[in-house]
Amino acid sequence: MRSILLALALALVAGAGVACSDRSGTDDSGTRPVAAVDPLTAAKTSFPGLEPARPGDLPLGLDTASPAPGTVAVVPGPFDDRFVLRGVRLADGVVSGRLTVTSDVSDLLELEVVAGFYDADGRLLTTAKAVHHLDEAVASHEEGPPDETAPFRIAVPRRLLDRVASAAITVPVLVNE
Amino acid sequence: MRMPARGTTALLTLALAASLAGTAGIAGAESSRHGDQADHGKNGKIKNVIYLLGDGMGRTHVTAARTRYYGADGHLVMESLPAVGQVSTYAVQQGSGQPGSSDFAPNYVTDSASAATAWSSGVKTYNAALGVDAKGNVVPTLMEYAKQAGLRTGNVSTAEITDATPAGQMSHVLLRGCQGPTYSASACQNPTLTGGALPTSDVRVTPVADQIARNGTADVILGGGLSRFDAADESALEAQGYDVLGSPATQTVATKTDLAGTSAPKVFGLFNKGNLTIEKYKRENPSSVQAQEPTVADMTAKAISLLSSGKKGFYLQVEGALIDKRSHANDAAQTLEEIKAFDEAVRVARDFARRDGHTLVIVTADHECAGFNIIEKGTFTNAEATTPPANTDGGNTANNSTPSRPSGGAKDPVRSTGPVNGSGAGDPKNFAPATFRTADDPAGVVDGSPDASLWLTYLSGNHTGADVPVFAYGPGSDELEGSIDNTDLFDIVGGALGLTD
């Protein structure tokens, strides 16, 4: 092992933009950036014009889905060609089903199924989601081939149980290993 | 930890090259292993580095592909490169210090993200981390250095371009699942490491696609993963002067015709909404949409042609990603074909380097995948996954193991993930074992039959901690000889390009 932290770590302090914590130094071989490069500015850590994500943003299409009473609509998302849905239904205050990844045979790292719940007039009342996150730091592999079928259950908030007439789901997040 | 001493290696290599230079029978690089030794000692100044990696490609993957396509006495192009070494690949635990520090905590089996960060930024980090060290600090990458120094830069992959290996050179995220197009707290935040959620303006929780589309780190970006990008990304790319092939805004994939038609200095071309398509499918379905995707060799050739116009040289990374993805699936047939396709990209790079004389070509892997092995006919056991065989030998007790197991044991559910294709092991279309005809087999022997001479098996469906091979060509290639660590690749490439000293 002859390489180590070349020059820096840019510690990004919450709410304070970029704060530089120069941990520069050289490893046992003396490796360091040459004058032509500047480790403090080489990594692009800000993107003018990029609106930071707002965690409460709705996936596109859920606000206008307006599914018919008694149904569960599937709103198009970016990864619809990578999975199949089976058994999707709204019953007993829960939208549920199974998603099977068809594009890869590997561990499922990230999956979010977002559901919108609507009243009898098709107005969006609220949203909720089912999240699958594989923590690689603690993950252990299941027996056999990777299980690429993820069942999901998304409950209607108790306060809205008597108003929800339909649902729509979409999949905005999907990452395989 | 590098050995042997570089100077000694260089002298030996030069001496060997000199002794071979005048001999006959070494003209064909692939016909003779190390056939390029004659010009290996060229004292050219390094101007360019082409860094190719087969994702998940262990030493046995290389041997199996060689045997499959060229027979026992044949050679892949990568095997013809004169400098050969091996690379250790271990990762570290989240929060670990670097090797040698008091809080160093290794993880013997890496993933693609940690490995990519090792060679891109020269640090050990935890599995899933990209462009950050194990404590979560942003660390600059070689491609960022190269860009800053005025070199031309390129990043080519058969995976989604937001996938770990390509992303390791041009993004910084706490978790590799933070790919986009949308931000997700569960996919992007790592509160265990950072002590709480970071603001979404922090680069470390900014989706990789958003970063790639805006940081300009690579001049030429070719691969898959169009679904990760959107209309805003397309606008950001065009504002930086990229020729965007296809359209993220309309989710129109680029084609190899589009690729052939561009000569722009900055090109962004994604040819599939997800990973690119395996070569086997394209070969068997030539009229399919997927057959319009370029091969990794096509993309490599185009990238070189676009990048080589720069006066200061270039740094190009090329990934054959589907080797790993098909190894996870224990799909030997497609794994081998993807290795061959990747080897054709190596050929393109090697041929350019031969003409150019100032290009260092490095071929390696990020890790081994699935414990791929070549076994003797009829000896399939997959001991750990199914039923361990007896380990005592009544005829020669020196062969006995401890603990003694005079008859077959039972699968340990704690240690074993079980057979990947256990119930279908007898079906030749499944794995366990897979058999393939080779160039050495008589006519009439077919794949999947017991008569086929190449028997392959897997230990698991995931990565292993085995060292991986490295092959190199061109000035400075002796730096790759011997045993190195994957972080040494950062030093070697950085030194070759004059980015580090």
- Show residues of chain B in contact with A109, CB under 8 Å: 176-177, 187
Query: Of all helices (H) and strands (E), which one includes residue B53?
Result: strand B48-54
Range of the domain at A133: 65-176
Q: Are residues A86 and A147 in the same domain?
A: yes
Measure in Å the smallest separation between the Cα of A120 and chain B Cα atoms. Answer: 30
In 3D space, the residue among B85, B108, B79, B105 whose CA is nearest the CA of residue B94 turns out to be B105
In 3D space, the residue among B379, B442, B374 whose CA is nearest the CA of residue B65 turns out to be B374
Over residues B414-443, the pLDDT tens digits come to 655 555 544 554 555 444 447 889 999 999
Q: Given pLDDT bands bounded at 50, 70 and 90, which one contains residue B315?
A: very high
CA atoms within 13 A on the CB side of B368: 23
Burial of residue A72, with CB atoms counted within 10 A of its CB: 0-12 exposed, 13-18 middle, 19 or more buried: buried
Number of domains into which chain A is organized: 2
Structure tokens at B151: 């070199």
Q: Is A87 on the interface with B (CB under 8 A)?
A: no
Please report where in the chains the tokens 């160039």 appear, as a residue: B439
Q: Out of B126, B140, B420, name the one closest to residue A144 (CB).
A: B420
Instruction: Return the residue of B nearest to A143 by Cα.
Output: B417
- φ/ψ of residue B424, rounded to 5: -110, 20
Range of the domain at B107: 6-22+36-186+203-371+463-496
SS3 category, B466: coil
Q: Cβ of B138 and A59 within 8 Å?
A: no
Over residues B54-94, the pLDDT tens digits come to 999 999 999 999 999 999 999 999 999 999 999 999 999 99
Average pLDDT over all residues of chain A: 80
- Cα A82 from Cα A8, distance rounded (Å): 39
Kindly state the percentage of chain B with pLDDT values over 90. 71
In 3D space, the residue among B11, B84, B75, B33 whose CA is nearest the CA of residue B477 turns out to be B84
B458 has a pLDDT exceeding 70: yes
Over residues A13-49, the pLDDT tens digits come to 333 233 233 333 334 444 677 877 898 899 999 998 9
Over residues B475-496, the pLDDT tens digits come to 999 999 999 999 999 999 999 9
Angle at B150 between CA B148 and CA B151, to 5 degrees: 105
Q: Is A1 on the interface with B (CB under 8 A)?
A: yes
* Catalytic-role residue among B80, B112, B121, B227: B112
- φ/ψ of residue A167, rounded to 5: -145, 160
Q: Given pLDDT bands bounded at 50, 70 and 90, which one contains residue A97?
A: very high
pLDDT at A22: 31
Q: Are residues A14 and A77 in the same domain?
A: no
Judge whether B448 lies within some domain.
no
pLDDT at B250: 98
B48 has a pLDDT exceeding 80: yes
Report how far apart, in Å, the C-alpha atoms of B42 and of each of B308, B354, B474 are.
20, 10, 7
SS3 category, B423: helix
User: Could you confirm whether B184 is annotated as catalytic?
Assistant: no
The arithmetic mean of pLDDT across residues B22-28, rounded, is 30
Residue pairs between chains A and B whose CB atoms are closer than 8 Å: 234
Contact present, B40 and B357 (Cβ < 8 Å): no
pLDDT at B496: 96
pLDDT at A137: 66
Number of domains into which chain B is organized: 1
- Cα B171 from Cα B197, distance rounded (Å): 19
Higher pLDDT, B281 or A106: B281
B227 has a pLDDT exceeding 90: yes
Residue B422 CA to its chain's centroid (Å): 28
Q: Cβ of A55 and B206 within 8 Å?
A: no
Q: Given pLDDT bands bounded at 50, 70 and 90, which one contains residue B13?
A: very low
Q: What residues contact residue B191 under an 8 Å CB cut-off, 6+ apart?
A: B197
pLDDT at A141: 56
CA atoms within 13 A on the CB side of B414: 0
B144 has a pLDDT exceeding 60: yes
A115-144 residues touching B, CB cutoff 8 A: 131, 133-134, 136-137, 141-144
Q: Are residues A28 and A104 in the same domain?
A: no
pLDDT at B102: 98
Average pLDDT over all residues of chain B: 87
The arithmetic mean of pLDDT across residues A116-123, rounded, is 96
Structure tokens at B486: 């994957």
Q: What is the CA radius of gyration of chain B?
A: 23
The arithmetic mean of pLDDT across residues B433-460, rounded, is 86
Q: Is A105 on the interface with B (CB under 8 A)?
A: yes
B146 has a pLDDT exceeding 70: yes
Over residues A133-171, the pLDDT tens digits come to 988 766 655 545 566 789 999 999 999 999 999 999 999
pLDDT at A6: 38
Judge whether A54 lies within some domain.
no
* Omega before residue B403 within 30° of 0, cis: yes
Judge whether B219 lies within some domain.
yes
- Cα B204 from Cα B138, distance rounded (Å): 8
Please provide the size of chain A in residues.
177
Q: Cβ of B137 and A10 within 8 Å?
A: yes
Judge whether A59 lies within some domain.
no
Instruction: Return the residue of A nearest to B431 by Cα.
Output: A145
Please report where in the chains the tokens 């992303």 appear, as a residue: B167
CATH of the domain at B138: 3.40.720.10
Q: Out of B172, B461, B501, name the one closest to residue A32 (CB).
A: B501
Q: Are residues A160 and A81 in the same domain?
A: yes
Contact present, B217 and B169 (Cβ < 8 Å): yes
Judge whether A77 lies within some domain.
yes
